[in-house]
Amino acid sequence: MLITQVARKYGLTTDQIRHWEQAGLLPPVKRDEQGIKHYDQSAQLWIEYVDMALNAHMTKEFLQEYVKLAQLGKAAKPARKQFLESSLAKITASCRELAKKAKFLEQTLQQTEGDRDDEYRTGQ
């Protein structure tokens, strides 16, 4: 598929795809004899993955590193696994911390709806 077809298929713009390519978020796409890029199934899967990852608030740095490791092939499989495990551990820890903050805010909200609200404003 051509870039315009791929962009339409995934609800993206051609500029988004080009930006991802230039930023190293996608592996290089194969070109034909005239230099025109053709997005095969593998390239399309990468586009889906990057779109999902960015929508899940993964960093560009994470994606750049993962693309580098993926391009190294089977030899880098242990390194990819370690990288993903480490990234998952960090995200899991962040989720736990956010859950604590959400619980605190929920409790604070409940207290502001009750009689204890005045205690927070007056310090009594």
Q: What is the 3-state secondary structure (H, E, C) of 42-62?
A: HHHHHHHHHHHHHHCCCCHHH
pLDDT of residue 9: 97
pLDDT of residue 29: 95
Q: Does 1 reside within a domain?
A: yes
At residue 32's C-alpha, the angle toward residues 26 and 35, to 5°, is 80
**50 and 94 fall within a common domain:** no
How many domains does the structure of the chain reveal? 2
pLDDT of residue 61: 92
**51 and 108 fall within a common domain:** no
**108 and 78 fall within a common domain:** yes
**67 and 24 fall within a common domain:** yes
Which residues face 37 on adjacent strands?
Answer: 31
**14 and 60 fall within a common domain:** yes
Per-residue pLDDT averaged across 75-97, rounded? 93
Q: Is the pLDDT of residue 26 over 90?
A: yes
Output the six-digit token pair for 49. 């993955």
Per-residue pLDDT averaged across 28-44, rounded? 95
Q: Is the pLDDT of residue 117 over 60?
A: no
pLDDT of residue 109: 92
Give the span between the Cα atoms of 67 and 28, in whole angstroms. Answer: 10
Give the span between the Cα atoms of 10 and 39, in whole angstroms. Answer: 12
Q: Domain holding 32: CATH number?
A: 1.10.1660.10
Domain that holds residue 87: 74-117
Which residue's structure tokens are 């930006």? 19
| pLDDT, tens only, 37-76 | 999 999 999 999 999 989 888 889 999 999 999 999 999 9
Amino acid (1-letter code) at residue 74: K
**66 and 90 fall within a common domain:** no
Q: What is the DSSP letter of 101?
A: H
